[in-house]
């Protein structure tokens, strides 16, 4: 069983003060501008990390989040909870934020539930949320798309083609892979400085032998030495990716298959750049709606799983395996950051026999191109094939069984 443990190394009854890393840009809201001429007409150059000013053609590359704030260093020295300003608790205030245009002074309202930028209706300057406002709308880092839409469309079409035989007829007729959309999904990355203690029993095989128990039957026995096994060790975990959207964290499989998105992990988060709204371009982004406290227990479960896996080679000598009876995890310190990860997404609504609607998703990792999804199944064809296989197996197995019993073999 898993023993209870204090969260993030907190002494019983008293939690240490968290450490906050400020990842804000220091710029005024509404001013993600060219560092050379000040223009806000900025686009990303292809699928590279370069940004280019449409006015003066100046090019520059955003800074890597880890390099800017040292998030890849000192995991072994972490104590208590450390988090970036973008991962701070979400406030429940209105998602409408008013920005003052630095071009003409007009005030423009941005609905952060749907977009992180807008355009001034007077001077056409692009306004963006580039400081970390305390409502969960803006992350610390973003991992830009490198898989193009054409590539994503091709991968989704190939995924569906391989499942055409069992796919619902209506789905095949209505399937339009061009409807795929690119979206930035909210996640958190967490580093962990943890200690683990595992206690159980391991077995080493000493003898294997077979005893005849009847005319046509026998039993195999195993002799083994049993040992108490204890492993007590520290583990440093770098960039575990944790879901920060409630709609995908608590899945209702009766109405959607959106947890497919989490099957696209991992992402190369080491290449993540510090947040700059210019990397979003025309892509939409989903707002984070879970706090660190909401996801920390899930992260700790994954920490423990990683601890077990880390000593697999060390216990390989117990060739009959090890059964852990007590597991204890202590999180000495953790470090959290809020990030946007790129996903290409296709959805299809299937009306079920009971009148409810099931939403099927097919998703493509916007970095690696990995594709996973759910296709509505033609249940009649599935049952027909299943019964056919069962009948064919029975037609072969039953006569062989009858012959064996008749001959006493």
- Tens digit of pLDDT for each residue in 41-66? 888 888 888 899 989 999 998 888 89
* pLDDT per residue as tens digits for the range 322-347: 999 999 999 999 999 999 999 998 88
**This prediction's pTM:** 0.78
**Model confidence band, residue 178 (pLDDT cutoffs 50, 70, 90):** confident
Determine what percent of the chain is predicted with pLDDT higher than 70: 70
| Residue 222 covered by a domain | no
| Residue 71 covered by a domain | yes
Closest CA to 305 of 333, 329, 269, 335: 329
Same domain, 276 and 316: yes
| Residue 207 covered by a domain | no
| Residue 211 covered by a domain | no
- Contact between 240 and 258 under an 8 Å Cβ cutoff? The reply is no
| Residue 31 covered by a domain | no
pLDDT of residue 212: 84
Range of the domain at 396: 379-409
Same domain, 183 and 318: yes
Same domain, 383 and 366: no
Same domain, 346 and 383: no
Helix (H) / strand (E) element for 201: namely: strand 181-212
| Residue 30 covered by a domain | no
* pLDDT per residue as tens digits for the range 272-309: 998 888 888 778 788 788 999 999 999 999 999 999 99
Same domain, 283 and 318: yes
| Residue 401 covered by a domain | yes
Same domain, 343 and 401: no
pLDDT of residue 227: 96
Q: What is the mean pLDDT of residues 3-21?
A: 58
Number of domains composing the chain? 2
- The β-bridge partners of 189 are 241, 337
d(CA 56, CA 307): 52
Using CA atoms, how far residue 83 sits from 8, 116, 165, 170, 266, in Å, is 12, 22, 49, 48, 21
| Residue 214 covered by a domain | no
Mean pLDDT of the chain, nearest integer? 80
d(CA 405, CA 401): 6
């Amino acid at each position: 069983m898993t023993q209870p443990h204090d969260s993030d190394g907190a002494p019983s009854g008293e939690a240490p003060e968290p450490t906050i890393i400020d990842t804000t840009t220091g710029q005024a809201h509404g001013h993600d501008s060219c560092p050379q001429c000040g223009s806000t007409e900025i686009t990303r150059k292809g699928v590279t990390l370069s940004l280019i000013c449409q006015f003066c053609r100046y090019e520059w590359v955003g800074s890597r989040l880890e390099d800017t704030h040292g998030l890849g260093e000192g995991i072994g020295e972490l104590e208590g909870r450390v988090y970036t300003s973008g991962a701070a608790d979400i406030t429940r205030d209105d998602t409408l934020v008013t920005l003052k245009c630095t071009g003409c002074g007009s005030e423009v309202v941005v609905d952060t539930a749907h977009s992180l930028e807008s355009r001034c209706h007077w001077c056409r300057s692009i306004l963006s949320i580039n400081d970390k406002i305390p409502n969960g709308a803006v992350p610390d880092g973003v991992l830009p798309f490198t898989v193009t839409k054409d590539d994503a469309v091709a991968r989704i079409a190939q995924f569906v083609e391989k499942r055409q035989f069992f796919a619902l007829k209506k789905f095949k007729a209505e399937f339009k892979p061009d409807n795929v959309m690119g979206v930035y999904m909210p996640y958190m990355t967490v580093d962990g400085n943890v200690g683990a203690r595992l206690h159980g029993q391991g077995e080493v095989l000493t003898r294997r032998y077979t005893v005849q128990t009847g005319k046509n039957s026998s039993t195999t026995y195993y002799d083994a030495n049993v040992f108490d096994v204890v492993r007590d060790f520290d583990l440093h975990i770098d960039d575990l990716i944790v879901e920060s959207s409630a709609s995908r964290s608590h899945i209702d499989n009766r109405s959607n298959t959106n947890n497919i998105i989490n099957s696209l992990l991992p992402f190369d988060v080491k290449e993540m750049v510090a947040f700059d709204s210019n990397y979003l371009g025309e892509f939409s982004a989903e707002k984070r709606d879970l706090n660190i406290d909401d996801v920390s227990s899930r992260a700790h479960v994954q920490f423990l799983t990683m601890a077990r896996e880390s000593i697999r080679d060390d216990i390989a000598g117990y060739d009959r395996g090890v059964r852990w009876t007590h597991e204890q995890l202590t999180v000495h310190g953790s470090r959290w950051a809020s990030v946007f990860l790129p996903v290409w997404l296709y959805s299809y609504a299937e009306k079920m026999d009971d009148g409810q609607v099931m939403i099927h998703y097919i998703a493509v990792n916007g970095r690696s191109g990995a594709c996973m999804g759910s296709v509505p199944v033609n249940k009649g064809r599935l049952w027909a094939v299943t019964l056919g296989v069962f009948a064919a197996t029975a037609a072969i197995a039953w006569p062989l069984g009858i012959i064996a019993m008749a001959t006493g073999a």
